[in-house]
Structure 1
Amino acid sequence: MTEPTQTPEPGIHPAEQTHAAAGADVDVKAVAPPGSESILDTAVLENPFGADIEAKAQEIIARYPFSRSALLPMLHLVQSVQGYVSQEGIAFCARQLDLSDAEVSAVATFYTMYKRKPCGEHLVSVCTNTLCAAVGGDAIYKRLQDHLGADGTPLGHEETAGEPGTPGSITLEHAECLAACDLAPVLQVNYEYYDNQTTDSAVELVDALRRGEKPAPTRGAPLSDFKGAELQLAGFFPEDEATYRAEVDGPSQAVETLRGAQLAQERGWSAPVMKDVPLPEVQK
């Protein structure tokens, strides 16, 4: 322990110094010279969002009675352009919605669907929650980490194999519950489901993605790339009806999911009728 350093005394008398001197156990690498830039400087960020994206942003805002309610789809719109939520993207949303950068950042860092590092062409999400993990999800995730890693180093969570955004690049993440316990273990590619996976089928899937193929999901719409999926999540689809149907239509149910309802129908089961119960009185 070092002796406590002298601090300026409060009061109306000016102190000889306006900071507490560092003790011997504090390693000061360098001091920024006067006039140098700091993190408090207000820098003008480059705007990668053109007039077409601004028009889409205004279209999103028009859907809501209060502009700030448009923030979630706006962040998806940003990801459809850059493949992640950059600081420029945060500033763009703040300008469009009349919010502070801090308000936008608070939302962007809360939800895992908003990525703070550039993603690959495809985002592969492996469910590692309890049931999926118990029946093979952990093994699938580890196998993909090793398979997509380089130089003997496994690929980490939200790390990318290949150059982000380039064809065949893949960002891998372990995900919490993907709401498909009846089809475990499951994974998603750009949020489309691939059910009943094994370590071998998962490797075959990512290898196909790296070759530029787009294997059909088990359920849901035909596979898009990550940016394309983000544009859909922002609420933008082809205007042509045939193209729209081709891009979004797909089976959304599975035999396993409907098995309980089927058994109930076959055996005449039904849920008991709940009687109306008066609500308790509350104080005005």
Structure 2
Amino acid sequence: MSVRRLADASIQPAAFAFNRENASAAKKWIAKYPKGRQQSAIIPLLMLAQEQDGWVTKAAIESICDMLEMPYIRGLEVATFYTQFQLKPVGTRAHVQVCGTTPCMLRGAGELMDVCRSKINHEQFHTNEDGTLSWEEVECQGTCVNAPMVMIFKDTYEDLTPERLAEIIDEFEAGRGDSVPTGPQIDRFLSAPAGGFTSLTDEKAVLKSTRDRAAKAATPAKAEEAAPVPPSNAGKPKTDAPETSPALKTPSTVKAAPEAEKAVSVAAPKKAAPAKAAKPSLDDRNRPAGIARPASVDDLKLISGVGPKNEKILHELGIFTYAQVASWKKAEREWVDGYLNFHGRIEREDWVKQAKALAKGGVDEYVRVFGKKPV
């Protein structure tokens, strides 16, 4: 993360004052804290100022510090520490904060930043041409299990793919941001397992009435039907006395041992080894058509996701040019993805779009489309 500083003095307003509604809200926030602790209201008051003007100005920080009787430097420390406070003008319809901490990075946050560079601006904290959109990379936003995620103003959007983030940005740019559902963007309830609950799907297991019925059903009807339980030695101190010796066996345990071993051997069969996914056959009709090695071979490693090893495999399949990759249909992409054991990576990284840009104008066209050089 970069150092956070206030915006240039040339765009800073000369003064700040809360409007009537926010001034009333500020008084209510201050009144929540005991006498002598009013400075604790600094964060909610800065949020009110941001909601009023769209960003936190130097004049707003100083005005709020005067209200709370605290040094300006203390207010500045708070405003520059928390990334929820915008210190310069941001997009009027959406300011996208992309989490760049490790869990999100491992799940594709880098691709989300590429989407922001392509659809908003190549640089952080710069708006698009209309001034409606802006973006930045921030530290952890607290929803690691739903990574990768972004925050737009006060709402979070989780379990994102580059394609889904692009759709969300388009909706905000069109002024329809309120219609976009917040939270997980896949089949997931909050931070529960993806695809639905796997345990405790109802409350029966934890209700007292259910437990009482289960206990009653498990209790023998007559006391004499209950099997005798030998006394436990677990709580006794270890001594040389024979009753605490680990070698001592009661008649019941001696008798039951062979039967127990037999029951274990019957009830616990060996687990079968998981079957590996079948690799697509080379003569499958969905295999992309190959060509003889041309005199001039394109550098397929410029496509994100293709390394030296994968480039060699593609050459073995007769794939040598960007134009071939750019022409793949969905079935062909799925075949190659399965052959490389990529688990959907070809679609996520959009090899076809990358190949089309490289085939059309090389690295320069790639930079124009994606806002960065191929790596």
> Does structure 1 residue 204 correspond to structure 2 residue 167?
yes
> Does structure 1 residue 83 correspond to structure 2 residue 46?
no
- Asked if 2 retains the 8 angstrom alpha-carbon contact of 1:192 and 1:217, the reply is no
Supply the AA of the counterpart residue of 1:161: N
Structure 1 match to 2:211: none
- Asked if 2 retains the 8 angstrom alpha-carbon contact of 1:182 and 1:257, the reply is no
Q: CA deviation at 1:257?
A: 7.3
> Does structure 1 residue 125 correspond to structure 2 residue 97?
yes
Pair 1:257–1:52, CA change in 2 (3 A): same
Supply the AA of the counterpart residue of 2:199: Q
Pair 1:83–1:264, CA change in 2 (3 A): same
Task: Specify which structure has the higher proportion of helix.
Answer: 2
- Asked if 1 retains the 8 angstrom alpha-carbon contact of 2:15 and 2:60, the reply is no
Distance 2:157 2:200 in 1: 25
Which string of whole-angstrom CA distances, capped at 9 and with x for unpartnered residues, describes residues 75-104 of structure 1? 101101111110110121012111222221
Output the aligned Cα RMSD.
3.1
- 1:23-172 correspondence runs (5 A): 45-65=14-34, 66-121=37-92, 122-149=94-121, 154=122, 156-162=123-129, 164=131, 169-172=132-135
Identify which of structures 1 and 2 has the higher relative contact order when contacts are C-alpha pairs closer than 8 Å and 6+ apart.
1
- Asked if 2 retains the 8 angstrom alpha-carbon contact of 1:61 and 1:67, the reply is yes
Q: CA deviation at 1:52?
A: 3.4
Unaligned runs of 5+ in 2: 1-8, 206-375
SS in 2 for 1:89: helix
- Asked if 2 retains the 8 angstrom alpha-carbon contact of 1:91 and 1:101, the reply is yes
- Asked if 1 retains the 8 angstrom alpha-carbon contact of 2:171 and 2:180, the reply is no
SS in 1 for 2:89: coil
Supply the AA of the counterpart residue of 1:102: I
Q: Which has the larger radius of gyration?
A: 2
Supply the AA of the counterpart residue of 1:219: G
Which string of whole-angstrom CA distances, capped at 9 and with x for unpartnered residues, describes residues 131-165 of structure 1? 2212211011112212212xxxx1x223222455x
- Asked if 1 retains the 8 angstrom alpha-carbon contact of 2:168 and 2:180, the reply is no
Q: Residue 189 of structure 1: which of 149, 152, 174 is its match?
A: 152
Identity over the aligned pairs, expressed in percent? 25
Paired positions, count: 186
SS in 1 for 2:199: helix
Distance 2:146 2:181 in 1: 13
Distance 2:21 2:124 in 1: 33
Q: What TM-score does the superposition give when structure 1 sets the normalisation length?
A: 0.57
Structure 2 match to 1:217: 181
Structure 1 match to 2:193: 256
Supply the AA of the counterpart residue of 2:170: D
Q: CA deviation at 1:213?
A: 0.5
- Asked if 1 retains the 8 angstrom alpha-carbon contact of 2:120 and 2:128, the reply is yes
Pair 1:174–1:47, CA change in 2 (3 A): closer
Distance 2:101 2:86 in 1: 20
